[in-house]
Amino acid sequence: MHHEVWHFSDYVMLVVSAIFINNILLARFLGNCPFLGTSKRMDTAFSMACAVTFVLGCTGPITWLIEKYLLIPYDLLYLETLAFILTIAVFVQLVEMVIRKISQPLYRALGIYLPLITTNCAVLGTCFLNIKEKFNFIQTIVFSVASAMGFGLALVIMAGIRERFNFARIPKNFQDTSIGLITAGLIGLSFFAFQGLAK
Amino acid sequence: MDTKRLVKEFTKGLWKEIPPFRFVLGLCPTLACTTTVSDGLGMGLCLTFVLTCSNVFISMLRKIIPDEVRLACFIVVVATFVIIVELVTQAYFYPLYMSLGIFIPLIVVNCIPLGRAEAFASKNSVIYSLADGLGMGLGYTMSLTSLAFFRELLGKGTIWGHHVMWSGFEPLSFLQKAPGAFVCLGLMLGIMNLVGSEK
Amino acid sequence: MFKLLVRLVGVLTGICVVSAFLLTFVREGTKGQIEYQQLKALMAPAVKVVLPPSDNDPIADRVKVTIGTGKKARKITVFPAKKGGKLFALAYTASASGHGGPVEVMVGITVDGKILGVKVVKHSETPGIGTKVTNSKEFMSQFVGKTWNSKIALSNAGGDIQAISGATESSLAVTNAVANAMKIFQVVKQKLESKLG
């Protein structure tokens, strides 16, 4: 990454790139299982998108801090994978417990998606990307949230299209996951148009 | 020990429940690591190793692991073997390690090892879990390699890096890009459904 | 309740201990090989440029030597080149601060202290301007033949290295890095020879 000071426009570029150009789902292939699983209805898709944004917005910076102040000083970089997944699992479990205690409606809306997030590779993948791209703390926060928003956007678009599938005549063998993947490919293709935004 | 059952547990992963077609989990590497045959095969073998080892260990420990913390235990066991794969590929298969990138650590959240641990290894004896892990892993390797075969042959005109198509062949570079991966997998899934439903 | 808690914590701890033991074991077994692979990917192209062909693999035979004492001590990885079992040249990296950050160069030197070649391995100079220097073979060739006791400086500072016009700062950084490498040559060579035996 660059050593020079980042200006506001650089952060805007980072956000645009994370959401549109290198969309975590459509260009980096992370988080496909929950993508296909929860995009059948708009309300579930929206809840999932919110839950992922919240979890990633918190775990991204937390794992960055763990990397910087725990793994690097003690020369334990090879345990990165284990440390990150456990952090995410513990965090998700804690959030689930807290939400259940303080708000039942919120729990009913988001709670059931929380366990799915532990194994959502968009979350773990973004934590790795933060480290790999050598982001600093602020860039990590911005990139984590932007990535999750990119995931949410793709999920909501997909749900909007999939709701229409009920009225379409799709060959029997291509129903469900098969047509879902092909649709995702076509959405990804339309996202190629955003590549002109960079430079 | 029942040899017939052993054979059945092994072969079900190769066709009847072949992941990720019949058993839709672990889609991210299926999309991301199939641009070339060598990547697909490498990824498949890495997963086979992790899956077989984690299945055996979890099956050995199935009577000790308390139900309340079983997910945490599974994650630690799977993550341990993923780190071993990470270290070994980095030491002896460096080009593969570089081209698979973050998808090696992401095997932790691939869902197949965790899914098999939950659905099979925690309920069956060691020898059957070994057969299940090997079968599922090799089935996954076959799927990845065949998908990669089509994507590399038609998208690049090469197989294992060697040119095989005639000289005037114009590669469909769309297949090498992200949307091509989605569409290709979607079509294959549909075709597999077609073949499967004939029985 | 208490019994259950003990069991939960006990099993988790047990699994973690076994996992830690296994990982430490694998880590120790692969450590050297991983370092070799990373160095090969990073340094092999540069070593190939700055050292003439040798009988051995300079990267596999790398030696770590310590330069300086106390707080200033640092480790340098030296790549020795041998012919007929005899050391005839060595290569190592040195750095100096440049426009966007440190500039690291690999310098290949004969055992008598004569520069064989220079190649930039790491820099953050401005693309298009600074990279005119870092990619320039002509600029690097000016260092070839200089010895460990000759003055290595740009022409405006009393030396005879011609800076690339418009990229003086980057030219200076590379020159300084090479000069830094030559400053420690005698010590590096001595330590390397004593380690090689």
Distance from CA of B111 to the nearest CA of A (A): 7
Question: What number of residues does chain A have?
Answer: 199
Tell me what pLDDT residue B1 has: 67
pLDDT at residue B198, as a whole number:
54
Cβ neighbours of B72 in C, within 8 Å: 12
Bond before B20 cis per omega within 30 degrees: yes
Residue A2: is its pLDDT beyond 70? Answer: no
Whether a cis peptide bond, with omega within 30° of 0, leads into B179 is no
The answer to whether B91 contacts C4, with C-beta atoms less than 8 Å apart, is no
Q: Would the CA dihedral through A108, A112, A118, A121 be positive or negative? A: negative
**CA distance to partner chain A, nearest, from residue C176 (Å):** 21
Render B89-123 in DSSP notation, one character per residue.
HHHH-HHHHHHHGGGTGGGGGSSHHHHHIIIIITT
Q: What is the mean pLDDT of residues B15-21?
A: 85
Greatest extent of chain A over all pairs of C-alpha atoms, in Å: 59
pLDDT tens string A111-162: 777 777 888 889 999 999 999 988 999 999 999 999 999 999 999 999 999 9
**Could you tell me which chains touch chain B, where touching means 3 or more CB pairs under 8 A?**
A, C
Predicted TM-score of the model (pTM): 0.84
* Interface contact flag, B193 A27, Cβ < 8 Å: no
Using DSSP bridges, classify how beta strands B162-163 and C74-83 pair: parallel, antiparallel or unpaired.
unpaired
Q: How far apart are CA C11 and CA B97, in angstroms?
A: 33
CB contact under 8 A, C124 and A2: yes
Choose between B199 and C96: higher pLDDT.
Answer: C96
B92/C12 CB distance under 8 A:
no
Mean pLDDT of A81-102: 89
Choose among B87, B111, B180: nearest Cβ to A119. B111
Q: Do C34 and B91 touch (CB under 8 A)?
A: yes
Distance CA C111, CA C89 (A): 5
Chain pair A-B, CB pairs under 8 angstroms = 128
Question: Residue B55 sits in which domain range?
Answer: 3-197
Question: Could you give the number of structural domains in chain B?
Answer: 1
DSSP A20: I
How buried is B17 (Cβ within 10 angstroms: 0-12 exposed, 13-18 middle, 19+ buried)? Answer: middle
Q: Where are the domains of chain A?
A: 25-197
Q: Which two tokens stand for residue C69?
A: 């004492």
| pLDDT 10s digits, A105-114 | 888 877 777 7
Pairing of strands C102-110, C115-122: antiparallel
For C134-170, the pLDDT digits (tens) are 788 888 889 998 887 788 888 888 888 888 888 888 8
Q: Are B88 and C30 in contact (CB under 8 A)?
A: yes
